Amino acid sequence: MFTKTHAKYIQSLHHKKFRDEYRVFFAEGPKLVPELIDGRFSPCTLLLATAEWLAEHDSWLKKQVIDEVVELKDFELDKISALSQPNKVLAVFEKLETDEDFNPAGNITILLDGLQDPGNMGTIIRIADWFGIPNIVCSTNCADRYNPKVVQATMGSIGRVNMVYTGLVDWLSAQKGLPVYAAALDGVPLQKIPKVKEGIIIIGNESKGIGEPLMQMATKKITIPRKGQAESLNAAVALGVVLAQLVE
C-alpha cells in the first residue's frame, strides 16, 4: 500500500542532497523503467505503479528481483512525479557503479566543462551511447547525472555510459599522447579534420563555452561552419554533429 512514507521518500529524491545520502535515483515511465530493470545496470529497490500497469506486467514482474512493489493511484503518482504528465510507473534504483580509473586510449572520450542544463546533459549521454562512446568526464559544476530530468532525457542510456565528475584540468593533464579537440566558434572547420579512432572532445558551458585553461590544453580547436545567423548551437546538437563528422 502506498503511504506517506513512500511519498516523502520519493519527493526527497528530487533533490541531489538526498540522492547522494541514500545512494539512489529514480526513473519514470512505461518505457524507461522496464529498460533499466531489464538492463540489470543496478538493483531496483522500489517500484510504484498503477493497478493497470501492474496487471499488464504481472508475468514480467514475477521474473524480476525488486525489493518492494507498491500499487498507487494516479493522483498519488501525480504527487511524487517529476514529470509534467506522470506516466503509470516510477522506480528507484541504486546508483550506478563508476569507473574513475578508466583508460581513454583507443576510444573517444567526451569532456563536459560546466554543462548545467539537465536536458542537454541527458541528451549528451544518449548521443554518447548512440556513437558507442563509453566514457564522459564532467567538471564538478556540471548537472548531476541523476537529476530526474537528466535520467528521463537519457532514455535508458544512463546505464550504458560511464560518467566521472572531477577537475578537468588535472584529469586532462594526466592523459598523454591523445589528441584533444575543443569545440569553438573560431576553430578549424570539421570537414577539414580527418576521422579519428581515439581522442578527447571538449564541449563547453551552454553560454560561456570552454574555460580558457582547458582551451589552452587543446591540440586543435574545431568548429561547425555557420551559414545562417544563429549565435550558437545547443551543446547536445553540436556534439552530435561533431561526432557524426569525426568518429570513424
The pLDDT tens digits of the residues spanning 26-49 come to 999 999 999 999 999 999 999 999
Q: State the pLDDT confidence band at 67, using cuts at 50, 70 and 90.
A: very high
Amino acid 230: pLDDT: 83
Average pLDDT over residues 174-193: 93
Q: Is the model's pLDDT at 24 over the cut of 80?
A: yes
C-alpha cell at 218: 587543446
Cβ neighbors of 57 (< 8 A, separation 6 or more) are: 34, 49
Buried/exposed code over 219-240 (b: 16+ C-beta within 10 A; e: otherwise): eebbbbeeeeeeeebebbebbb
CA dist 29 → 77, 138, 143 (Å): 11, 27, 22
Identify the sign of the CA torsion 194, 200, 119, 92.
positive
Provide φ and ψ at 15, rounded to 5°. -110, 135
Whether the pTM exceeds 0.85: the reply is yes
Amino acid 239: pLDDT: 96
Amino acid 219: pLDDT: 95
C-alpha cell at 211: 574555460
